[in-house]
Amino acid sequence: MRERCSSLTVTVLSNRWQTQVSTCVHGVVVHTYALTLDREMDVMTDDNYMEGMEMETENNPTMDTDFSSDKTYQHLTIREGTSSSCRRVKVRSRPRLQSTKSFPPYSQCIGGLGEDGDGDDELSQSSDVMREDRNDVCQGTERNIELIPRCARDEVKEQWRMRRKERVGGRGEDTDGLERWSGNRRVEEKSECEDKEMEGGTNSKWQHCRGRNCSFEIEEVDEERKTSSEGENEGSGESQERRDGEAEELIGIKEGSTTHQWSSPHPILSKLLHSSSSTSSSSSINFSSAESDEVFSEGEDVGSKRRAFRKSRSWKTYLTMMHWSLRRQGSWVQLAGHQGNFQLSEGGEVLKLYCEVEAKCLDSLMIDALRPFVPQYHGCVTRGEHCYIRLEDLLSGLRRPVIMDCKMGVRTYQEEEVVKTQTKATLRSDMYQKMVKVDPSAPSVEEHEQKAVTKSRYLQWRDTTSSTSTLGFRIEGVMMEDGSVQRDFRKILTLAKVTEAMLYFTRSQLDILKAYHSRLLALSEALKNSLFFRSHEVIGSSLLFVHDHSSKASVWMIDFGKTTPLPDRLELRHNIPWAEGSREDGYLIGLTSLIASLSQAISVASSQQEDSCGEEQSVA
Ligand SMILES: O=P(O)(O)O[C@H]1[C@H](O)[C@@H](OP(=O)(O)O)[C@H](OP(=O)(O)O)[C@@H](OP(=O)(O)O)[C@H]1O
Ligand SMILES: Nc1ncnc2c1ncn2[C@@H]1O[C@H](COP(=O)(O)OP(=O)(O)O)[C@@H](O)[C@H]1O
């Protein structure tokens, strides 16, 4: 029986964010397809799917035409090619971001990911050692709990701290946020990964490989292009609009303009890279970041790589490679949180280091009224020695996303952390240093002597030096469309300043502000109906604000690593201040402040708009 493979290209419509499609043809053709029909922004229900299963024999000449001629599927096109690989059919819908009409200006082109190559080396090396175990896949969280007896994040955090210590040459101390992200565009990528997954008990498997090294060293670009076009067909269904846009972006890429990483998205390419660039240690090209930790400033050899590249490659090749790379590379960025926690995955997903607490929350949230406000959770997967939770990538499909991370609640420490401090406190010199860096007079005499503080002391101090204690949330960080990251907002204390920050973040665009405002009102309603919310203490969770130039804006609840269920029958109000033992988190205090601030920002932006209209009229 002749082996044949059809690849399915899905053009993503404005109401469809991402689609991962592939087809396995091996004598008998099986097509599975699903279209997102939902045009509502915030609703994510299973009813939003329309699924179909089609079986035909190889000789059935109507296969392609049936598919493409059907008006319902006019955005699906089928291309045929020869391949012996069976590819999995996976189609997923996603709640849409709210569409608005404005188009923010862009001064610079962004779109790549920064990368700490060094760390990746270590992680990838360790994952190589564990290669035999790599194909383990956990479905649901139960098995993971057995696999990972303790929260893997602690181990990874420890690894980063150790690395940092080694790096600073035995100084032995972490400084401010050194093991944390500070907004550089980056993502963990393995040097050569083969991730096989089995989902939902089926035998469907897929493989992808993402090289860590930069595409500048590609030898056989033209040949690769051919292969890549095949590869892309099995990919994530990017829209033509996006491709075109990215092609345009390339023209705007200038040396030194922003932060880029070109990763190799194709298995063959990846192999080429590895064979041709054994000396390469980093693929990151970090040109700028408003705030940049030293731990990520490893772009020194990038300049020489680029120069070497320029000598040996024509501009045409250069553009081709970047275009190709960009098409596969989303604009993923980790704005806050712990370094080493995330890996970019395929199919519009990100992988976050497994944490039992978070996985349990996500399990519950997937059947809760809050589901439309939470990234879709797809269970867990083991890569190398770690287990990860699979989350919908909230930046997938966005170009030059503008992001704001607001940490919610009137406190960011758990009650147990306070209790722990009273009993057996671990002293943290890294936290002491972070504290001193912001305010040298903050530590007590004793703390100065110890050169260390307890974690809960640090977290409490952090809360009082930000709007957390007073407004019930703080802006952890903002990334603008040019890729610049600002984290100074954490020092904001008043609502008026938050409003200013909102205006800055949205560039006073009314439609974006309104979209955020209505999304938060909808969230507020959903929280009222949420069993999850009622029965959990939500600590350290963030609202991720995301919009892009194409006028899409939405807000998502993320980070449930410190969100814990309450004892039976205890329910929280979430809108009153915390008193020890109450477990109140003040989440709704934060939400109310945010809504108030957005209302103020809308008023300001409206009057600004009226003023400018008036000025225009008087000039005319
Ligand atoms: O933001 P800065 O001032 O750097 O302080 C951080 C945050 O509070 C982190 O919380 P979050 O993850 O919610 O951002 C916390 O992680 P935990 O989540 O582990 O409490 C870090 O503790 P350590 O990870 O122990 O350093 C602490 O150092
Ligand atoms: N599902 C997601 N899609 C896109 N970006 C995400 C997603 N989850 C987290 N991020 C990014 O990662 C950052 C840190 O996420 P978070 O869950 O708070 O990590 P941590 O638990 O390490 O604090 C966020 O500020 C955001 O920029």
- Tell me if 90 CB under 6 Å of ligand 1: no
CB of 218 closer than 6 angstroms to any ligand 2 atom: no
CB 100 within 8 A of CB 160: no
Q: Tell me the CA–centroid distance for residue 220 and ligand 2, in Å.
A: 36
Rounded Cα–Cα distance for residues 350 and 353 (Å): 10
Among the listed residues 571, 597, 600, 595, the one whose alpha carbon sits nearest the alpha carbon of residue 583: 571
Q: Does residue 542 have its Cβ closer than 6 Å to ligand 2?
A: yes
538 lines ligand 1 (CB under 6 A): no
Q: How high is the pLDDT of residue 589?
A: 98
Ligand nearest to the Cα of 416, by number: 1
- Report d(CA 228, CA 251) in Å as an integer: 21
- The residue-averaged pLDDT of 367-381 equals 97
pTM equals 0.59
Ligand 2 center–CA 214 separation, angstroms: 24
Whether the CB-CB separation of 530 and 565 falls below 8 Å is answered with no
What distance in Å separates the CA atoms of residue 558 and residue 537, rounded to the nearest whole number? 14
Phi, psi for residue 222 in degrees, rounded to 5: -65, -40
Taking alpha carbons only, the member of 332, 197, 242 closest to residue 17 is 242
For 161, phi then psi, to 5°, come to -65, -45
Q: Measure the CA–CA gap between 583 and 577, rounded to whole angstroms.
A: 10
pLDDT digits (tens, 9 = 90+) for 479-507: 999 999 998 898 999 999 999 999 999 99
Compare 504 and 104 and report the one with higher pLDDT.
504
Model confidence pLDDT, tens digit, residues 541-551 = 999 999 998 87
**74-83, 168-177, 204-213, 276-285: which is most confident:** 168-177
pLDDT for 196: 38
Strand runs labelled E in 460-525 = 473-479, 485-486
What does the pLDDT read at residue 46? 31
Report the C-alpha gap between 406 and 325 in whole angstroms.
31
Token look-up 């919610």 returns: 408
Sign of CA dihedral 425, 429, 430, 431: positive
pLDDT at residue 349, rounded to an integer: 92
CA-based angle 443:471:588, to the nearest 5?
A: 125
How many Å apart are CA 400 and CA 397, to the nearest integer? Answer: 10
Give the C-alpha separation, 98 to 40, whole Å.
8
pLDDT at 25 over 90: no
* DSSP letter, residue 53: E
Q: Distance, CA 564 to ligand 1 centroid (Å)?
A: 16
- pLDDT band at 281; cut points 50, 70, 90: very low
What average pLDDT does this structure show over 304-328?
48
Q: Which residue has the tokens 């097509």?
A: 31
The answer to whether 383 and 354 are in contact (CB under 8 A) is: no
Q: How far apart are CA 389 and CA 393, in angstroms?
A: 12
Which residues make Cβ contacts (< 8 Å) with residue 480, sequence separation at least 6? 402, 486, 505
Instruction: Assign 381 to helix, strand or coil.
Output: strand
Q: Provide the pLDDT for residue 220.
A: 32
Centre of ligand 2 to C-alpha 557, Å, is 10
Predicted local distance difference test score (pLDDT) of residue 620: 63
31: which 2 tokens?
Answer: 């097509």
Place of tokens 């190799």: 264
The ligand whose atoms approach the alpha carbon of 351 most closely is 2
Contact 250, 323 (CB under 8 A): yes
Q: What is the pLDDT of residue 304?
A: 53
Which atom of ligand 1 lies at the shortest distance from residue 476's CA? 1
| DSSP code of residue 62 | T
- Overall average pLDDT of the 25-48 stretch: 33
Between 151 and 497, whose confidence is greater? 497
pLDDT at 180: 35
pLDDT in tens, 154-182: 666 777 667 666 654 443 333 333 333 33
Structure tokens at 246: 């990215």
Residue 340 Cβ inside 6 Å of ligand 1? The answer reads: no
pLDDT at 328 over 50: no
Q: 356 pLDDT exceeds 50? A: yes
